[in-house]
Amino acid sequence: MASSLVSSPTSSFLKKIAFHKCKKQVSKKIVSVMAPQQSERKTYTTGSVKTGMTMTEKILARASEKQQLNPGDNVWVNVDILMTHDVCGPGSIGIFKKEFGEKAKVWDREKIVIIPDHYIFTSDERANRNVDILRDFCGEQNIKYFYDIKDLSNFKANPDYKGVCHVALAQEGHCRPGEVLLGTDSHTCTAGAFGQFATGIGNTDAGFVLGTGKVLLKVPPTLRFVMDGEMPHYLLAKDLILQIIGEISVAGATYKSMEFVGTTVESLNMEERMTLCNMVVEAGGKNGVVPADSTTFKYLEDKTSVPYEPVYSDAQASFLSEYRFDISKLEPLVAKPHSPDNRALARECKDVKIDRVYIGSCTGGKTEDFLAAAKVFLASGKKVKVPTFLVPATQKVWMDIYTLPVPGSGGKTCSQIFEEAGCDTPASPSCGACLGGPKDTYARMNEPKVCVSTTNRNFPGRMGHKEGQIYLASPYTAAASALTSYVTDPREFLC
């Protein structure tokens, strides 16, 4: 439960503060997209007079024990949680031991979370060795939160094993409003959905954090994205973030915070907010953040007993730019090969023949993502026309697929609907083929195929073969495309 709770901003309050003081007048007309202002807004101080701060500035100010921070300031930040996994963990551990000593102890064994998830279900000896290194280190340091896996033949035989780190962090209660969470993975920004500062760091920084609990950060300026309007029933958060990335480009938010507000954002459940924040790094963002509210607090009720204190942007906070979207006018989108900003309407790609569909990853392998895909299959009553691979993010998601009834299905679970539709059996929880991996990785693209995927990147070679073509899409669009063997607008099946 939250302590020292600050009331979250309401819709009316957000509307009230949306037009903060600035040198240029911001139009109050809501359009599909409004171009950002070109000039940077500067924060001025006179003596000890404080100026307004954004959420990100406030979180970093508290973590650095400063009263006031401005974009561009360099500060030593106290870290609340450090996460690493099997790909970057061994390197981070190696740096820690080199710089602090073979016998050195970590700064806080209860603030380090180590999650094997990337190259798990493989016979690759080097990948298996990485997990062994993590296990040895956690034993030496008595790390409290190590989600180990030993039996690769049956993930269910490993009660501690979770799966994809970014989803597991949320499910296990490691994400809390107002805190600083760092991880050796670029998609650590997912946790910003909880109203916290979350970003990816390199192995060198992680090695230093292991020994000190601190990191040197430059305070980023903030871009604000105001999304209003009723969310159409055929859209998901993946469409929203693809729209934003398509609008500002993969470099449009380089080393900037991306703050998401508005009535549409407030209507999203936590997993959809995680999708939104997950892909800010595909726009170059340092972090993404959603103000904590009753949805956040309810999600956390049974997940953490650690006190937390949310923060919110001040009414007079200075934003570098502001974008406004009327989501009610948005249509289903895809990102065509080979960049997340290669935006197109799904219906404009209806002649693109595909070979496979992949539903999984930290972006699109959560419970709500599989419920969405099942909804499309259920509505169609048809079978898929291409191989459709399902990779749950975590053990919990896997269990949900087999136990949660799909709304409007008469009690059927996702697994039953997937089986009736002819999909592959849900695989063992992991990052899977999202980033290619060893050649024996489930669903890896070992041939130059065309794939519609709920993942986050579509660069050449991302899912395996360097000549593969990846169309990034929502679970709705991915499921619809599986049914036709072409890139398909989900409105074809969702009335």
Whole-number pLDDT of residue 495: 80
Integer angstrom CA distances of residue 285 from 32, 66, 187, 222, 335: 22, 24, 10, 10, 18
Whole-number pLDDT of residue 216: 98
Whole-number pLDDT of residue 51: 86
Residues of CATH 3.30.499.10 domain(s) within the chain?
Answer: 55-305+317-327, 336-492
**In whole angstroms, what separates CA 327 from the centre of its chain?**
20
Confirm if 276 and 193 have CB atoms less than 8 A apart. yes
The 10s digit of each residue's pLDDT in 129-158 is 999 999 999 999 999 999 999 999 999 999
Integer angstrom CA distances of residue 31 from 189, 226, 235, 325, 334: 28, 11, 18, 6, 21
Strands 74-78, 214-218: parallel, antiparallel or unpaired by DSSP? antiparallel
For residue 32, pLDDT beyond 50: no
Task: Give the integer Cα–Cα distance in Å for 203 and 88.
Answer: 6
Phi, psi of 486, deg, nearest 5:
-135, 155
Confirm if 97 and 209 have CB atoms less than 8 A apart. no
Task: Give the integer Cα–Cα distance in Å for 332 and 3.
Answer: 40
Count CB neighbours of 460 within 10 A.
14
Half-sphere exposure of 69 (CA within 13 A, CB side): 27
Task: Give the integer Cα–Cα distance in Å for 206 and 81.
Answer: 11
The 10s digit of each residue's pLDDT in 66-94 is 999 999 999 999 999 999 999 999 999 99
State the DSSP H helix or E strand holding residue 274, giving kind and residue range, or none if neither. Answer: helix 270-278
The 10s digit of each residue's pLDDT in 44-63 is 333 445 789 999 999 999 99
For residue 27, pLDDT beyond 90: no
The 10s digit of each residue's pLDDT in 90-122 is 999 999 999 999 999 999 999 999 999 999 999
Whole-number pLDDT of residue 22: 38
The 10s digit of each residue's pLDDT in 269-284 is 999 999 999 999 999 9
Nearest to 434 by CA among 424, 426, 444, 425: 444
Query: Average pLDDT for residues 174-202, to the nearest whole number?
Result: 98
Higher pLDDT pick, 26 / 362: 362
Nearest to 26 by CA among 249, 263, 320: 320
Integer angstrom CA distances of residue 353 from 153, 412, 450, 485: 35, 31, 8, 6
Confirm if 424 and 432 have CB atoms less than 8 A apart. no
Handedness of CA 290, 330, 14, 265 (dihedral sign): negative
Task: Give the integer Cα–Cα distance in Å for 85 and 37.
Answer: 39
Whole-number pLDDT of residue 168: 98
The 10s digit of each residue's pLDDT in 386-433 is 999 999 999 999 999 999 999 999 999 999 999 999 999 999 999 999
**Second CATH level (architecture) for the domain 55-305+317-327:** 2-Layer Sandwich (3.30)
Task: Give the integer Cα–Cα distance in Å for 57 and 221.
Answer: 8
Which fold, 336-492?
A: Aconitase; domain 3 (3.30.499)
The mean of the pLDDT values for the chain is 92
* Maximum separation of any 2 CA atoms in the chain, in Å: 69
Task: Give the integer Cα–Cα distance in Å for 257 and 271.
Answer: 20
Whole-number pLDDT of residue 488: 98
The 10s digit of each residue's pLDDT in 36-46 is 444 444 443 33
Whole-number pLDDT of residue 223: 98
Query: Average pLDDT for residues 336-361, to the nearest whole number?
Result: 98
Whole-number pLDDT of residue 49: 53
For residue 232, pLDDT beyond 60: yes
Q: What percent of the chain has pLDDT over 70?
A: 90
pLDDT band at 338 (very low <50, low <70, confident <90, very high): very high
Nearest to 118 by CA among 437, 451, 359: 437
